Each structure stands twice: as structure tokens, then as C-alpha cells.
Structure 1
């Protein structure tokens, strides 16, 4: 039996050494990642005022957000241009876009909810995106 015990002790020691090394290198990797980030990142309070003004958002809590209702979900669109463009789409195409990109639904889930085929949803989404792109280009004067 001494052989079995020494073999077991050797396995335990090897595992112990492996665990210690793994933890040690994980700690080193975490420390070097924090150091690397610290060199690249800067606190917002330490930014020069010119950069802070450039990053300032002009949105206020009192802006008029557009709310679309799709399948008992209320979807808030904060971008006024996007909300206007979405308003110009047909309701079915708008619903597909909102479900896909705002609620992150798959085409299969949208098809089931709207009682349609997945390929139909895919085609209508493509057409809606094409229309949205066209509306944006018209608004930009391009």
C-alpha cells in the first residue's frame, strides 16, 4: 500500500502546484491588463475642457422621443431622424425593423409572432432597410 499512498500524494502535490501556478499567472494577467488600460484610459474629470465639450451630448430628458407600439411592446426611438424615417415605412415593415433591431428578435421569432414565413420577413426587412437608406440619403441632400 505504500506505493498507492505515495502515488496519491504525488498527484495531490502536482495538482496543488498546477493550481498555484494557474492562479499566479491569472493574477499577473489581470494586473498587466489593468496597467495597460490605465495607460490608455483617462477619467472624464481629467479631460481638458475642449475634449469634454466635444463629448457633451445635447440630449435632454425633456426631448420628444417617438414611441412605437409593436405587439404590446413600447419601443422608444430617441433619434428624431430615424423616428421620422420609420414613420414613413408601412406598419408591417416598421414592425419588422423595430422587432429585429430594437428588441433583437430573430427572423424566425418575428415570423411566428407576425404569422408569416421567415423568408417573407427577411425580404421585407431587406426592402425596409433599402427604403430607410433612401430616406436618409434624401434628408442628407445626397
Structure 2
């Protein structure tokens, strides 16, 4: 069995190299993989829990949204009027003002120190009334 080694050819002449060096390609691909693995969880993270401020720009609105607020004592206000009766009646009235294809948008403002469960109960009532276009409002400012 004959083996053709490059050192057995004529002196001073080298045979052209026929294989491709893939080591740099593998190195670059591994670095890119690591970069994507590190940055992917940061891209899918939600809104931080303790974030009262935001740099988000206001959304364009087709119709005037309904402003709803919950103060530190847990009182609920709809367009600066305190809800004194049942919340269900007021939400049914608001839901009736929109179309079934396009229910009114609710801008929900809740006090930062308020119990999370209280806000979720109000959001559950909104959902039960068919008002599922709810936006949580924050203050505009630096996040530093």
C-alpha cells in the first residue's frame, strides 16, 4: 500500500492544500452562539415588578380611552369619579359604549404601594365585563 505524503515529493515544491481550515469558522460560530444565549433571556424579560417609571412613548388612540385609577386606600375611580355603587354596573355601562369588535380601551393606574392582589381583582372584573384592552400606566421618567 502506497502512501502519498507531501514530504515525499520534490524538494522545495509543495502540493496545493485541498482542504479548508474550518477552525476560524467554528470559533466565530461559537462566539455568536454564546452572545445569542446571553442576550436572548434579556430580550424576552417582561416589565420589572417594581417599576413606577417608564420611557415609553404614548400610544396613538382612535377613541378616548377610559381612565381608571386605584388609590393607596384601594378606592376605585373611573374618569376622576369615585365608584360608590357596584363596580360591575359601571363596567357593564362602559362595555356597552363600545362595539363588540372594538371594546373601549382602559388605562389602569394603580398606586405603587397597593397590594398586587387588589389590582388583579380589578383586572379580573374588567376581563369578566368584556373589557380586555387594558393598559397599565406608569410615570414617565428615568429608570436609573
TM-score bracket, normalised by the shorter chain, equals: under 0.3
Decide which structure has the larger Cα Rg and report it. 2
